[in-house]
Every structure is written in C-alpha cells, then in structure tokens.
Amino acid sequence: MTSFRQIEANRRNAIRSTGPSTEEGKHRTRRNAVRHGLCAETVIEIVEDIDDYRAFEAAVIADYDAQTAVERELVLRLASLLWRLRRATAIETDLLSIQAEILRDRRDQTRSQDDRSGSVVPTVAIMLTVLLGLAALGTEVGTWYGTKRNMQGAADSAAYSAAIAKNFPPGTSSGFTAQAKSVAGTYGYVDASNNVTVSVNNPPQSGNYSTGPLANFAIEVIIQQPQQASLSAVYTKTAPTLAARAVALLTSSSRCVYALNPTASGSFQVDGGNTISSTCGVAVNSSSTSGAIVSGTVSAPTFDIVGNYSGTINSPKITKGVKPISDPLFYVPAPSWVLGSCNYTNKTISSGTVTLPNGVYCGGITIGGTANVTLSAGTYILMGGGLTVSGSATLSGTGVTFYNTGNTLYPYKPVAIDSANVTLTAPTSGALAGILFFQDRSIVSTAQNVLSGAFQGALYFKTTPVVADMISLQINTLNIKNDYSSLASGSPLKEPKLVE
C-alpha cells in the first residue's frame, strides 16, 4: 500500500514536471486520458492483461448473439464500457484505500500536515462521477441493443406482411406499402413520428434481390430512428442512429392445385375410383361440408380445405378449417390484342401435317381426324369457340399459352381435349412464363373443361370448372409434378418467405 511519505515525494517530483509547454505539445497530449487512462477503450497493458479482455469480450458477444453489423458494434461497445466500468471500480477501491491509509497516518503526524490529507477527497469525488457516467453509458448501450432487436423484429414482420399484401388482390404498391407501415406501427415505429423513418422498396435498393428475375417479387423494409444520449453524452459525441432491414420474397408456392370456389359441394372431385398423385400441395377454398369428394385416391404432401371432405386422401398433413386462399395468379396480366381483330376465323384441321402460328383465332381452333398439328411458340387468343382436339389427332407445342375468352359475336366455349396425343409446354420467360392455359377471369360458365394429354405449365381456369373454380377429374391416373427449374423466377404460384 502506498504510504503517506511516498505520496509526499510524488507531489514534490510532480512540481518539477510542468508538462508540454508548446501549443503543439499540449494538443498532442490532451487526449492521453482517453487513450491510456480511465476512459481508454483499449486495454492498458501495463496494468491489464489483453488476453483477459479478449476472453471477457468473447463472453459478452456470446451472451448477446449479435446478428448484424450494427448489433455487433453495439455489443463491442458494451463490452468496452463494462471493462472500463470494472477499471473505474478498481480505481475507486484503490483511492478509498489510499484515503484510509492517510487517515491512519494522520494520527502519527503533526497538525500542520492535516491539510494535505484532504487532497484525495476531491479525487474520489471525481472518480465517483466518472463511475456513474460509465454506468449510465453502459446502461444506454444495453438499451440501444434491445431497441435494435425490437426494430429488427418490426422490419421482419413488416416485410413479410407486405409480401402477403403484394400477393393478394389488387397487390398494388400503395397497398403493400401501407400494410408494411401499419405493421411497423404496431411495434411502436410509426413512420414520420418521433424521427422514425419506415421505407418500403420494391424491388429492394440493395442486396441479392435488387436486380434479376426475382427483383419484382422482393419487398425491402428499412426502419431507422436516431437515439438520444442522456448521462452518457459526456463520453460520446453523438448517439447512434439505429436501423433494421428485412427483405421478403414471393417464392415458389408449396401448393400447385387450387380449387377457389368458396361454397360449391364437390369443388374438388375425383370420380370413378381413379388415382391422383401430386408432388405438391392441394388447396380447396370451399366451405361446404362436402367441399372435396374423392371416390378414388388422392396423394399429396399437404391437403388444405376450408370446409370438409369425404373419401380417401393420402397425405401426411391434412388441414381442415383453413382460411380461404386468394387467387395465386391474380397478378398475371391478361394478354393484349387489338379488339375486333381476327387473324383466323373458325380454324378447323382434320388431316395432314400443319404448323399453326400464334395469333387471334376467332371462333376457336378445332383439330380432329388424323391431323398432326404443331404450334409455333407464342400466345393463342381463343376468341370464342375454345380449343377442341378429338379422334386420333396429334397436337404439340413448346412455349405456348392459350387465352380462352369470348364476346357476343364469338361466344365463349370451354377447352375440350379428348386425345392422349397432346403434348403442350408453357413459355419459360416473359409475362406469361409458366402459364399454359389462361381462362378470361371475366368469363363465368358451368361448361366443363376437359383435358387429356401431357401438360407442362399452369392450367388457370379461375371461374370455370376444371382447375381453379372446381376440379372434377375422370381419368385413370393423373401425376402432377412440381418442377419449375426451367423458369428463372420459379413457379408462377407464389408464397412469402423472409430471405434477408
């Protein structure tokens, strides 16, 4: 322990040392206390062990499990502050010990020396002030860390909710932006309030999904708020501005069969003891107690239905009473053409080998007999008349989409393919990528679409019986695959997922 005589000797030596005399010297040394003393952010190696500090820092980092750069910076700052707080506590203890030693020495000294002992008291008071300040800074850094975690949760929820809104009609920018800001507000981060900024970007401004085929399906939410420093303002010039970022992506849906009629009995129906095997999920929106009627067998990884079903469904996950699902393809734009124009009228082929170009077919396309027809890539507008393939006719096409519609002059008719010699594949790029059959959403008809053959692509009949409004299958075996590897943006059927 330092004695009173040693302290007196130190004081006499200090008088001889006046420190730097020039302005340059004073400027160089005025931050020595921050670099080397009580407020030093690094270890003072002459009295502290660098390995001890590294172990202490690692323990703090492990406790908080920082996930982002901002979180890591806050945790590192907290570790530094806690270390310095321990240093201040040790210094305070030593100073009090010195004061106690002086008080003991006073009993052996003359009264003329009494005034010297009081010089330690102001020092102790200063140290206590520093100690309280460091404690305040450590508390505030911990608070900022908690705020950052809460802010990240808000950004994650807002981005995910915005992706759901984008995938729900009408899916407009104003709609999903309002949804994201509303969710962020429930966490206490109201845009333009208390210096909070909530930004919603589609596509994201940065990251893996700012460009490329998936950019339009990605929504970025960024929440920012500057923090305030109170007692800790003595030790830090400015408080940090905390920020959290999240990106949600509309990825390929785990389902690929949807029956969207909200009330029909037998909205999904398999007759005649037949078998349907699907590598992707089935969703039935009907609230009827007989929303799905299966006389045969259905196998799928998931089967979700709003109401109830009868029959045999082989699935590890059958869920009844789910919420109705919105049209998963609502965002796909209908093809455009010059209204009233017709490239072909009442096109009928019954023999020979023919290649058909894309275009507007008023009165539809009828293929029968022994005809062998190949379709050129592109969009086929069926303006009334539908598509009919029968007999031993053969039909093939790659990169094709059929848009089935109608008007007063050319009334709507369903698709009727009653031939096993049909092989059709949807486009792999463009606005209609992955869409093979697209029925006009404004058409309402009870006429059943009949499909037979090999199809690769979405069969989108939203308001007529077969694949979307009601599904009724009367075939021996149907295998439904879920392979979208040829599509740059994945399946046209989407569901949200957090990716950043």
pLDDT at residue 342, as a whole number = 92
pLDDT range class, residue 31, cuts 50, 70, 90: very low
3-class SS string, the chain: CCCHHHHHHHHHHHHHCCCCCCHHHHHHHCCHHHHHCCCCCCCCCCCCCHHHHHHHHHHHHHHHCCCCHHHHHHHHHHHHHHHHHHHHHHHHHHHHHHHHHHHHHHCCCCHHHHHHHCCHHHHHHHHHHHHHHHHHHHHHHHHHHHHHHHHHHHHHHHHHHHHHHHCCCCCCHHHHHHHHHHHHHHCCCCCCCCCCEEEEECCCCCCCCCCCCCHHHEEEEEEEEECCCCHHHHCCCCCCEEEEEEEEEEEECCEEEEECCCCCCCCEEECCCCEEEECCEEEECCCCCCCEEEEEEEECCCEEECCCEEEEEECCCEEECCCCCCCCCCCCCCCCCCCCCCCEEEEEECCCEEEECCEEEEEEEEECCCCEEEECCEEEEEECCCEEECCCCEEEEECEEEEEECCCCCCCCCCEECCCCEEEECCCCCCCCCEEEEECCCCCCCCCCECCCEEECEEECCCCECCCCEEEECCCEEEECCCCCCCCCCCCCEEEEECC
Q: Give the global pTM.
A: 0.59
Please say if the pLDDT value at position 250 is more than 70.
yes
| pLDDT tens column, 35-77 | 444 344 556 665 567 777 788 778 777 776 676 666 777 777 7
| pLDDT tens column, 88-138 | 666 666 666 666 666 666 666 655 444 444 555 555 555 555 555 555 555
| pLDDT tens column, 449-487 | 887 777 888 888 876 655 333 344 444 444 455 555 666
pLDDT at residue 384, as a whole number = 92
Query: Domain residue spans in the chain?
Result: 4-13+33-143, 151-252, 292-494
